[in-house]
Structure 1
């Protein structure tokens, strides 16, 4: 006798599971989601879920692969660069979680699977270079690669927007910002200088206090491997502190994470205060703040990774405090961009600002460009171009007949 479950199981059940898992991973983080959570979201039993996917790791890997497959399809079907840029905007609109899955959650996968995904993304970037070349034959190989990874960062930025904007305007802004990147003039030829394999350190007796050593090593380890993959014992050993002594400084790993995140916010706030003191008008302050943000990202890459990815691991009260500080920092950016660009509607100001952050945050963490000796100048050039992007038509208005959607 055929059961009700077997007769009513949708043909796209595997796709439904992958979509539900992707959204849960995006909204809660990989470690906060269980297979039971995913099964409940789809409305099936855990046993039925395991029939399709053997583990949560397999589900995460599959979710990212599906997104990269879609990028591959776009690349193969694009007739030219503009065709690809418009299609990628559609994908960014309808597959908003793809970027966060790759940038934030895929690092929880084993090394061999992350390598597979990284190679796939590098192949996509190489294909995108071939589309860019006809329009920018003036670029060196390194500069073409830089602009392509910047375009992918623009794509990634559209996974973080929470803005009421008509779909048509949303896609037009995406295309305009991508075209700004394509047309950006890089002032000096790029020369990739590989860092030496080892730098000799001069021994000296002065060392950081124990608490500061713990914060420094936690920042390095959390940034490289993620909060949940690092133990207090590992942090203590890296800092040269063994046994229960570590708990004299921090009662728990979450308290240590809170201190790391607080340190990051303090540095951003200090840069903002310096920019405010240095600039005579909104344009000058924004310029100084942009430089401060780029310098922070370049010099504090592990800390940046933690600020982006790990605040959800804190208890609610501590998390809210960290999120409030980050929100206030972002609000200053929005006010400055709005003051400098009064021609832009508020939703477009938000998109432009988020895109600047995405470009900075992604490029400093992209190994294909991260070792450029001129990376600071190149990032400043392309982000300045984005802040100055030309307005096409009336952006940010609602379409008639209910066409406005929350994207």
Structure 2
């Protein structure tokens, strides 16, 4: 009797193929927007076949998140203990660039993991941070070695935050150089010096519509957009849920308003900072200080805008993408003036590396907003750009 032809053609590594296909989908679409049918189509199988390997979407998502971090752990474990910081960071960079499509899974979507799974994931990532921290401390003897290490990893991980088209080897070189620049920066010295930054104030909620937006943002930041209900938002404002719809037809409209507000505040802040100086080095230092101040001042708002924009429909996301490109173009122009050896793609990758430093450094200090913290993170951003 002949064997089952379906069984004969089924690849033995199908579970691995599913995970490899699912990671980019979760990273690109977000956990809640991604569907098992969409992932099955990427693999070329039916949804029913997918469920033979994973009982539900969460199980697949958790395995994808775990594998993302395990790759980094394996990379640093494969580097000899006596190796220098460049070799260690190069190993991390190779993994980050090779799997950039899945990187956003850990950066933003891992918050949707159950508490225990999230704890295990953080424990694994802490091994990577610990290894890099030891190397930073050994080579640079900085008292804030862990902050420098986390920030260097943030520069490397930034490759998952954008779609700049750049060859893998060139991306590795640019990111490694950026991470080493961060690691060599002593945030305790704050060599960039104090910089006066004037941020536009977030508008006072003087209308019911503005009150709803102001109440929704911290809820989105804490629990994630998908988990927050209009009922929770209404309760925070002191309204009945049906009253929300008179101001925002859908919850998605509230999210769009939050993202647009974040983009507008940042554009205003950047415009003020760049207009104040003509020297590109000084302009970049001021841009860095402004972006850091903005991120610490409006942590919930910026976190929502950065984490949730991938879940917006294309037509709603496009204006936000244009605003982000305009913002990056300001940095890119100044960086190309300050470092003439760079080409535009390299400059764009470095700008995103600076943004990645702010995200990870801010998380590391729990966004405690003090002049010292802002100055330290600004210095690390300048290091990521390759400036002294």
Structure-1-length-normalised TM-score: 0.85
1:61 matched to 2:62? The reply is yes
Cα deviation code 1:301-325 (max 9, x no counterpart): 1111121121233343322122222
Match of 1:308 among 306, 309, 322: 306
Match of 2:119 among 112, 115, 120: 115
Cα deviation code 1:251-277 (max 9, x no counterpart): 211111111111111100110221133
Task: Report deviation, 1:152.
Answer: 1.4
Contact (CA 8 Å) 1:176, 1:389: kept in 2 or not?
A: no
1:91 matched to 2:101? The reply is no
Cα deviation code 1:314-339 (max 9, x no counterpart): 34332212222222122222122222
| Matched residue, 2:108 | 104
| Matched residue, 2:350 | 352
Residues in 1 aligned to 2:179 and 2:310: alpha-carbon distance in whole angstroms: 31
Match of 1:336 among 328, 334, 337: 334
Contact (CA 8 Å) 1:75, 1:84: kept in 2 or not?
A: yes
Over 3 Å counting, the alpha-carbon distance change for 1:161 and 1:310 in structure 2 is: closer
Over 3 Å counting, the alpha-carbon distance change for 1:168 and 1:40 in structure 2 is: closer
| Matched residue, 1:186 | 187
Contact (CA 8 Å) 2:155, 2:384: kept in 1 or not?
A: no
Over 3 Å counting, the alpha-carbon distance change for 1:180 and 1:257 in structure 2 is: same
Contact (CA 8 Å) 1:254, 1:313: kept in 2 or not?
A: no
Residues in 2 aligned to 1:129 and 1:362: alpha-carbon distance in whole angstroms: 14
Residues in 2 aligned to 1:163 and 1:328: alpha-carbon distance in whole angstroms: 14
SS of alignment partner, residue 158 of structure 1: helix
| Matched residue, 2:200 | none
Give 5+ residue unaligned stretches, structure 1.
Answer: 190-205, 391-407
Match of 2:316 among 302, 318, 336: 318
1:128-207 alignment, distance < 5 Å: 128-136=132-140, 138-140=141-143, 143-188=144-189
SS of alignment partner, residue 31 of structure 1: coil
| Matched residue, 1:197 | none
1:286 matched to 2:258? The reply is no
Over 3 Å counting, the alpha-carbon distance change for 1:165 and 1:326 in structure 2 is: closer
Residues in 1 aligned to 2:364 and 2:351: alpha-carbon distance in whole angstroms: 24
| Matched residue, 1:6 | 7
Over 3 Å counting, the alpha-carbon distance change for 1:46 and 1:275 in structure 2 is: same
SS of alignment partner, residue 32 of structure 1: coil
Contact (CA 8 Å) 2:178, 2:385: kept in 1 or not?
A: no
Task: Report deviation, 1:149.
Answer: 0.6
1:195-344 alignment, distance < 5 Å: 208-344=206-342
Give 5+ residue unaligned stretches, structure 2.
Answer: 191-203
1:124 matched to 2:122? The reply is no
Which is further off, 350-359 or 283-292? 283-292
Task: Report deviation, 1:100.
Answer: 0.6
Which is further off, 92-101 or 55-64? 92-101
Which is further off, 78-87 or 51-60? 78-87
Residues in 2 aligned to 1:378 and 1:152: alpha-carbon distance in whole angstroms: 16
Contact (CA 8 Å) 1:89, 1:174: kept in 2 or not?
A: yes
Task: Report deviation, 1:208.
Answer: 4.8
Alignment RMSD = 2.2
Residues in 2 aligned to 1:276 and 1:83: alpha-carbon distance in whole angstroms: 37
SS of alignment partner, residue 45 of structure 2: coil
Contact (CA 8 Å) 2:142, 2:186: kept in 1 or not?
A: no
| Matched residue, 2:198 | none
Contact (CA 8 Å) 1:222, 1:230: kept in 2 or not?
A: yes
Task: Report deviation, 1:369.
Answer: 5.4
Residues in 2 aligned to 1:287 and 1:382: alpha-carbon distance in whole angstroms: 11
Over 3 Å counting, the alpha-carbon distance change for 1:107 and 1:92 in structure 2 is: same
